[in-house]
Each structure stands twice: as structure tokens, then as C-alpha cells.
Structure 1
């Protein structure tokens, strides 16, 4: 479990089913690390921290093409949660539609994933592992506002329109939908289908 508060940004490259990340955080073999929001297990440590990638991970994430990744070590029992609960079980990738600088903040628009429940104004979402609040939802995009600290200390500063970003819908929203589906509640409809 993670909080979506990024500790470091590191260079990375993927070769086959292995991801090599610049060794910039203290970890041990077997540790869970959020890499661009994906929960991965450390399998080797040297000049690079090495992770093995499964087929599903390669299919559902942007790790194959990411050159800079956000890193966060797993929470320990008793840690403060400064963001929101993030599992590291990425739901898929979405593309950046627009980046606008307003004053000292950045507003970024992302495409809304098809048939995805939980994209609501003031709701939480993890993007490349970053805990963010959805500021606005309109038509086929949602917007987040990124403050200068987050911009400067995450890989968002490298984003361009069209780039793929990993997303994870808020855990609470997923459970609410699952309960509604289980009990056949018609009050939950798929958003943006």
C-alpha cells in the first residue's frame, strides 16, 4: 500500500521483462516499490534497482516507454498517509490531452477512460503514482491542478500532450461500485461510457 506521495524521480529503461531503475532510494531485495504507480517487487540491487514485469503489467502500464519514473516505497504500519490510499494495482493508461500553465500552477487535462466509474470532481486519483484531486470533469476529459512542488518533484515536469500516464481509480470508489453491482443497485451508472 502506498500514499501517492512521490519520494524520488529516477531514470529507467525496460529490457524484455525487466525494468531497470536508477538506484536513488534505499531498498532491499523483496521490497515493494511503487514505480509510476505500479506496485513492483525488487529482485536485484546494484547500479540499478531491478524489477521483473509480468505480461499484464507490460500490457496495462506505461513502464515500457517511460524514461523517468516516480518512486515511492511501501507504507509501514503507523506511517502518516499524506495523499490517499493507493494500491499500486494500475487500472490502465490514459493520454495527456492538454497542459496549461496558470500563474505558478499547471492544469493538466487527461482523457477519461471508457466505462470507468470514479472520475468525479473532488475525487482522488493516482496518476503515475501521484495522489491527485480531480479538479474538473467535462465532456471527455478531466483536469487536475498541479502545484509547483509536485510539478518540480515528479515526472510530470517531463509530460507532453499525447504522453501515456498510468491511472488508478480511488479504492473507495471501486468498493462502492462493487457493492452496488453485487446488490444490483441501479443507482450506480457507468460514467462516460
Structure 2
């Protein structure tokens, strides 16, 4: 009787080879969300005591991604032994707000009289919209975070690297994230009013 024993060939994976595989990725898109933002700015008028009010209805897209250029040997710990384990510390997800080109005609502006105004038919309305672009972007980021895009981005990145590193021969993979350096107001602000 012939007994075949399957032996597991152990290969040593160096930190440098893991970094080299990750460096080839450079930037990893991990989440994408498209939704509407209703933004109500108030613009002071030349006449004291009066103001102009608008309601912007803006379709926007938020993309969560990881910038992997900052990963170095301090971000990776490899443990060789009975089982091969790796601990990877990733940078926090970045969020990018855009208004897709195809959605620009869908931007709606309602003036204080309740009249729907076309943004790109009126130069003043376009200037008004552009003057509030930073506030709209900040409001969109807050809205996206409340909807959980950052958590989705983290989970997606964990799944990606878990699969990649298991495929490289590791038995156990632990993926952690560095603390986010974004201002606390963008991470925890419930329903802020931006004026």
C-alpha cells in the first residue's frame, strides 16, 4: 500500500515583496455612491435687511478610495511560525466629491419665489452655484459619511487585501486602518447647517 503524504511547501514572503505588490496598485477605489443633496444657502442682498434664498438640488457622486503610496515597511508585520500571519495597517479612506458630467443638466435651483430656475441658462445662477461649491462639497461629504460610505470603503478594502494576502500564501490576515486626519466636524456632525 502506498501512502501519499501531502507536504506543504513553505516559502518565505518578505515585507519588501508585499510592499512591491501593493505599490503596483497605488490607488484602490473601494466605494462609490450617487445621491441628491438639497442645499439652502442664503445670500445677503445690497439692501439691508433683505436676502436672497435659493434651494439647490444637486446630484453628486462620492468615491471612497485608498492612497496606497504611503505604505512602507512600518505598515506591515509578518509572523512566520506554525502558521504564516500578516498584519497590514492601511491609510484611512479618502473621499472625493464630484458632480458627474452627465448629471449637470439635472441640477435644479429654486429661487425664493418658488420658481424653478435653470442653472446654466442664467449666468448669475451659475455664479451663485459656483460661489457655494465649497459648502456644497462639505455638505455632500457629511451626507455621504452619514450614509456610511467610509465604513463601506473600509470593509471593501479589508476584503480586497484579505483575498490578496491569502493568495500570497498567508494563513491569517489582519487588516487595520490608521486614524483619519479629517477634522472631527466632518466625521461626526449630525445634520449641520452650512450658511
Q: Which structure has the bigger radius of gyration?
A: 2
| TM-score interval, normalised by the smaller of the two chains | under 0.3
Q: Which has a greater percent of helix?
A: 2
